A and B are shown apart, each in its own frame.
Chain A
Amino acid sequence: MTGSQIFSQFLSGVSRGMILFFISSGLTLIFGVMNILNFAHASFWLVGAYFTWTFWKIFYSPAFGLWISIPLAALTMAGIGWIIEVILIRRVYERSLPEQLLLTYALVLVIGDVIKLTWGVEDRIVTRPKGMDGFINIFGAPFPTYYIFVIGLGGFVAWGLWWLLHKTKFGRTVRASVFSREMVGALGIPVHRIYAGVFALSLFIAGLAGGVQAPISSITLGMDMSIIVECFAVVVIGGFGSLPGALVGSLIVGLVYAFAILIIPKMALVLIFVVTAIVLIVRPWGLFGTPMRA
């Protein structure tokens, strides 16, 4: 294996990890703030991808179509997120864990068929914008320019989330309500609106992720079911409720996968599960989580 080959695999692992980070960040945020594991998060991601396609079809323009569609899809998902939080999620905060899990799992089934009813069963294709459909050579290894955008955007989202949570009033309130919901409520701050905001924000990022994903592969039914399992692995490894954990976990999963397929080709996914199981056994709260936050 030459140096540039290794570097090439490394870069592909990083971009794979970034896509996982987009989805896992929202997943871990919802868990961290509201203590709900949203099985349906990848399904929302997929809906975001489909919306991106719809907008892209409407604003058809090879150069700019995507740049308009992605934010629009993300905003649409944020709106949908707000509505779903108010109608459904809000009702199960006080309920037991199994009921919460069941609700979000049932949502997966519902969303799957809603996608089928709205967009049909055909695969949807979005092409990469002109100027981002080629590759550049980094240390002798070819690397698609679009992935540079993905990695860059991922970094920006990570930074943006950190800034939001640490430098804004909204963020401070969110972190306070994680610490003590009652106190925040007692201070007269409408906690339910905070939660709705967090849920909408998570879905905004999921929608963004869906939009970013759209030109990478075709948009098809069932993508959500396969990626949610990897996202769970990320959240376990990184730690439930921790954003830095989601970033590190995503990179670990992406890189492990990228190199595993070279060394033990058929067992790459099994390896991820083994790692997840080991983390849960040895250190259930992951790398960055707080102990036993069940």
Chain B
Amino acid sequence: MERITRCKIGGLGIIILLAICFLFPLPVKAAEPYHLGVVLGLTGTGAMYSRDGKNAIEMAIEEINKEGGFLKKHPIKLFIRDDQTKPDIGVREAKDLILREKVKCILGTYSSAVGLAVEDVCYEYKVLHIPAISNTEAMTVDNYSPYTYQVVPNTYMQAMGQVIGISKYAKQKGWKSFASIGSDYEWGHSTVNYFVDNMKKALPEFKLAKQYWPKLGETEFSSYITAVIGDKPDFVYAALASKDNIAWMKQAKPYGFFDKFPYACLISVTEMVEMKDELPRGVIGETRAPFFAHLDIPMMANFIKNYRAKYNEYPSDWAVMEYDAVYALKQGVEKAKSIDIEKVKNGLKGLTVNTTRGKLYFRKIDNMLNCQSYIGIIADDPKYPFPIYKDLVIITGEESWRPESEVPGVREKSGLAKKRKPEELKF
């Protein structure tokens, strides 16, 4: 009796498993709809940024589908996955999207580590990839892939932007020494290192005195705050992960930290809105795509209007960039007059696209958009219920990206030639 029951259960189980597996590889549809994948860190440290990115993408897809989709005949079908801010989950989800849902392009990733992992998956399976929030320079320079196009200023550009902006102040005010505090992970390290190296070249008399590396996800900064106060630097440079930065600023303010020390860090629209009461006025912020910097561009003005109508909030930098990513893809499809991946990939090469941030182009050697970095001083503005930048300084892509002559050297060091075909590395 038992044997029969067990065999029955087992047989049933196997039949169910097989049935499910048969159901899932659906017959390939005719190339009509465009399958677009999104992989974002919807859980994890970047959940807020990812959520904004997701919202902007959904809005962009709605707008394009209202006209019939890409080339007015390919409606876009969106597939959104959470990579949990973990590279191996990102790889699994990207593979899932490519193999099961047959996406032609993957947008997003918040974390740079996941971005790099997904970049390689997209390269292996020959699928387009537009990161839009992850911005490590490694994705376009060290680990360049012909299938990856970047629309957010990378870590090098952002650090360079700060060097240009801050060396002006340093010269003016005669600063001699500075301390750095960076979250102990790749983005934190590469950002601080780029800043320090380029500042050495720009203003050699401005010296780095001390470096601090709180762990990623640190919530208790008092020991670091007191240490920096003890060092008495002329200026403090910070590259802390978004949530950590908020905690840091919140905790440092009661020490009177920001009255004592000039301070610079990444402050995106998200932080401006979230910390509107607590954000110390007078700190030097830098960000990647603030909406208020381009109110004169019609595409941006429309975007703000529609985004506010749909989501009841101002679009953050992350929303702006993912929106631009979708529209860059759209223009690539239009240039190629086809949704075929290879044709779109070639169409995007060196292409000039209309974005909410202006008319920008992709540099051929690394597929990097010549997008701007924005520096300003946090101050209140009567138009908005939160502080924004005043004395806005906009640094162009050409001023801040790594010079083309240096790129091959970096790629040799990273051993890129082992991972890519030689014709893909010729420009």
Determine if A121 and B47 form an interchain contact, defined as CB atoms under 8 angstroms apart: yes
Interface of chain A, main secondary structure: helix
- Cβ–Cβ < 8 Å partners of A121 in chain B: 42-43, 47-48, 51
- Cβ–Cβ < 8 Å partners of A144 in chain B: 222, 251, 254-255
The yes or no answer to B278 lying at the interface (CB within 8 A) is yes
Contact string against A for B residues 269-313, beta-carbon threshold 8 Å, 1 for contact and 0 otherwise: 000001101100000000000000000000000000000000000
Determine if B254 and A217 form an interchain contact, defined as CB atoms under 8 angstroms apart: no
| Shortest distance between the CB of A226 and any CB in chain B (Å) | 5
Q: How far is the CA of A16 from the CA of B229 in the complex (A)?
A: 18
Determine if B254 and A128 form an interchain contact, defined as CB atoms under 8 angstroms apart: yes
- Cβ–Cβ < 8 Å partners of A217 in chain B: 219-221, 246-247, 250-251
Determine if A135 and B51 form an interchain contact, defined as CB atoms under 8 angstroms apart: no
In the complex where A125-B274, A135-B256, A142-B229 touch, is A257 in contact with B223 (Cβ < 8 A)? yes
Q: How far is the CA of A141 from the CA of B274 in the complex (A)?
A: 30
- Cβ–Cβ < 8 Å partners of B254 in chain A: 128, 133-135, 144-146
Contact string against B for A residues 194-235, beta-carbon threshold 8 Å, 1 for contact and 0 otherwise: 000000000000000000010111101111001100000000
Determine if A222 and B229 form an interchain contact, defined as CB atoms under 8 angstroms apart: no
Determine if B212 and A218 form an interchain contact, defined as CB atoms under 8 angstroms apart: no
Contact string against B for A residues 128-171, beta-carbon threshold 8 Å, 1 for contact and 0 otherwise: 10000111000001111111000000000000000000000000
CB proximity to B under 8 Å, residues A219-271: 220-223, 226-227, 257-259, 261-262, 265-266, 268-269
Say which one of A2-10, A64-72, A174-182, A183-191 lies at the interface with B: A2-10
The yes or no answer to B170 lying at the interface (CB within 8 A) is no
- Cβ–Cβ < 8 Å partners of A8 in chain B: 226, 229-230
Q: How far is the CA of A15 from the CA of B221 in the complex (A)?
A: 11
- Cβ–Cβ < 8 Å partners of A11 in chain B: 222, 226
The yes or no answer to B194 lying at the interface (CB within 8 A) is no
In the complex where A8-B229, A123-B274, A216-B251 touch, is A15 in contact with B222 (Cβ < 8 A)? yes
Please classify how large the interface on chain A is, using the bins under 10, 10 to 19, 20 to 34, 35 or more: 35 or more
- Cβ–Cβ < 8 Å partners of A5 in chain B: 226-227, 230
- Cβ–Cβ < 8 Å partners of B380 in chain A: none
- Cβ–Cβ < 8 Å partners of B255 in chain A: 135, 142-144
| Shortest distance between the CB of A119 and any CB in chain B (Å) | 11
Determine if A127 and B277 form an interchain contact, defined as CB atoms under 8 angstroms apart: yes
- Choose one: B44, B220, B256; the contact of A142 (CB below 8 Å): B256
Determine if A9 and B250 form an interchain contact, defined as CB atoms under 8 angstroms apart: no
Determine if A262 and B243 form an interchain contact, defined as CB atoms under 8 angstroms apart: no
| Shortest distance between the CB of B314 and any CB in chain A (Å) | 14
In the complex where A133-B254, A218-B250 touch, is A261 in contact with B219 (Cβ < 8 A)? no
| Shortest distance between the CB of A56 and any CB in chain B (Å) | 13
In the complex where A16-B222, A16-B223, A121-B47 touch, is A261 in contact with B214 (Cβ < 8 A)? yes
Q: How far is the CA of A279 from the CA of B90 in the complex (A)?
A: 38
8 tightest Cβ-Cβ pairs between the two chains A and B: A217-B247, A12-B222, A121-B47, A5-B230, A8-B226, A144-B254, A258-B223, A217-B219
